[in-house]
């Protein structure tokens, strides 16, 4: 079905059990009236929790956008001079200006450019100039072997909670992704491929992780500022281009889960907990590519130390002295050899 504003849009995603399936996405764009029929709009949702509980340090500068049509021609981009911040408890609507390069054309390919301030994308919802809609879920980062974390955002009629995909341009330079080399700076998405437009579709999940359907880019050469003397709103055609697989990752993933030793101070000082079965501490700790704050699963009774990728059981009621467990009440590790290791979290966030 072709998505229309306000109606449920079926989006292909790869679930935690690696199966392919559909998730509904409902959103109403707020495109200015004088832009309708000319420009497109993209809604970017970050790794959300409920608003009253604050961020999971998964917010950052709004990604820049570049759009291409089905013939792979550059047709527009977001205003690169605007450096807006997107908080973890919300989303941002970004206009893709097509008035000069491709007014009214269908932006089938979308490049999403992360910046030095990392952001974890939970979903992307796109509205074309003619009102058609397309979507993409943050689950795809985990499914395709890139850095990810849980989100507590509910989307669609099923109240589905997608995972999120990290985008961070300075991951190697700031020392937070030297060992694994699995964090993307940007992604290029064929938005057509992820929307259930017909009854026939590829059923092999690997199709959705492979260019030209989806391409994760380790770094990009764009200088994401405008020359105000020659470029009024968007970058010139000579400065951008559709990426080929050569722009993708060159390195294979490690064979086992890797400790995130170089997490940022903000991530190291935060704990997130969840009561939901979907948010598995054991799965998070076992993943080669998970990245984020320490995590406690009340459904499992398990705590994942994301700095060492070590799993600890919750201390049983009245048996704290036995050791080898995580004390939820005090947020400390009770060691088998005696004593405790205080975690000293600056922020504890409890999802509901």
The pLDDT of residue 177: 53
- Residue 70 token pair: 């089905």
Categorise residue 309: left if φ over 0, alpha if ψ from -120 to 50, beta otherwise: left
Q: Which of 57-66, 80-89, 208-217 has the lowest mean pLDDT?
A: 80-89
pLDDT band at 60 (very low <50, low <70, confident <90, very high): confident
Exposure string for 231-258, b = 16+ CB within 10 A, e = fewer: bebbbeeebbebbeeebbbeeeeeeebb
pLDDT band at 231 (very low <50, low <70, confident <90, very high): low
Q: Which of 53-67, 190-204, 276-290, 301-315 has the lowest mean pLDDT?
A: 53-67
pLDDT band at 221 (very low <50, low <70, confident <90, very high): confident
The pLDDT of residue 176: 55
CA distance 113 to 350: 30
pLDDT band at 333 (very low <50, low <70, confident <90, very high): very high
Average pLDDT over residues 209-223: 90
Please state, rounded to an integer, the average pLDDT across all residues of the chain.
Answer: 85
Average pLDDT over residues 116-130: 92
Question: Smallest Cα–Cα separation from 119: which of 296, 264, 222?
Answer: 264
Average pLDDT over residues 246-272: 68
Give pTM, 2 decimals: 0.89
21 or 172, greater pLDDT = 21
The pLDDT of residue 341: 94
The pLDDT of residue 5: 53
CA distance 32 to 181: 40
The pLDDT of residue 11: 95
The pLDDT of residue 300: 97
Helix (H), strand (E) counts: the chain: 3, 24
* pLDDT surpasses 90 at 296: yes
The pLDDT of residue 256: 47
The pLDDT of residue 68: 97
**In terms of C-beta density within 10 A (0-12 exposed, 13-18 middle, 19 or more buried), how is residue 181 classed?**
middle
Q: Which of 4-18, 173-187, 188-202, 264-278 has the lowest mean pLDDT?
A: 173-187
Do the Cβ atoms of 192 and 83 come closer than 8 Å? no
* pLDDT surpasses 70 at 49: no
Average pLDDT over residues 22-29: 87
pLDDT band at 348 (very low <50, low <70, confident <90, very high): very high
Percent of the chain past pLDDT 90, that is, above it, reads: 57
């Amino acid at each position: 079905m072709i998505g229309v504003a306000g109606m449920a849009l079926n989006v292909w995603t790869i679930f935690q059990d690696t199966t392919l399936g559909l998730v509904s996405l409902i959103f109403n764009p707020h495109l200015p009236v004088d832009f309708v029929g000319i420009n497109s709009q993209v809604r970017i949702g970050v790794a959300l929790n409920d608003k009253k509980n604050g961020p999971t340090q998964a917010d950052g500068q709004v990604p820049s956008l570049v759009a291409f049509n089905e013939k792979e021609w550059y047709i527009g981009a977001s205003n690169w001079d605007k450096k807006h911040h997107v908080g973890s408890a919300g989303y941002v609507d970004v206009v893709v200006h097509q008035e000069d390069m491709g007014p009214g054309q269908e932006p089938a390919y979308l490049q999403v450019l992360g910046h030095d301030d990392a952001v974890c994308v939970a979903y992307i919802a796109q509205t074309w100039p003619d009102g058609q809609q397309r979507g993409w879920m943050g689950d795809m980062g985990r499914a395709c072997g890139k850095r990810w974390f849980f989100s507590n955002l509910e989307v669609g009629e099923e109240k589905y909670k997608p995972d999120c995909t990290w985008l961070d341009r300075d991951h190697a330079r700031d020392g937070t992704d030297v060992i694994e080399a699995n964090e993307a700076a940007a992604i290029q998405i064929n938005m057509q491929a992820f929307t259930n437009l017909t009854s026939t579709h590829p059923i092999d999940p690997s199709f959705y992780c492979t260019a030209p359907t989806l391409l994760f880019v380790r770094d990009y050469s764009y200088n994401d500022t405008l020359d105000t003397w020659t470029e009024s709103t968007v970058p010139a055609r000579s400065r951008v281009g559709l990426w080929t697989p050569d722009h993708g990752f060159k390195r294979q993933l490690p064979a086992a889960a890797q400790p995130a030793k170089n997490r940022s101070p903000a991530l190291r000082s935060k704990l997130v907990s969840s009561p939901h079965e979907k948010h598995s501490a054991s799965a998070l700790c076992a993943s080669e590519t998970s990245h984020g704050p320490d995590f406690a699963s009340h459904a499992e009774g398990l705590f994942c130390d994301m700095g060492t990728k070590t799993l600890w059981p919750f201390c049983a009621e009245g048996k704290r002295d036995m050791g080898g467990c995580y004390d939820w009440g005090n947020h400390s590790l009770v060691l088998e050899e005696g004593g405790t290791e205080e975690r000293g979290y600056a922020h504890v966030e409890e999802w509901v």
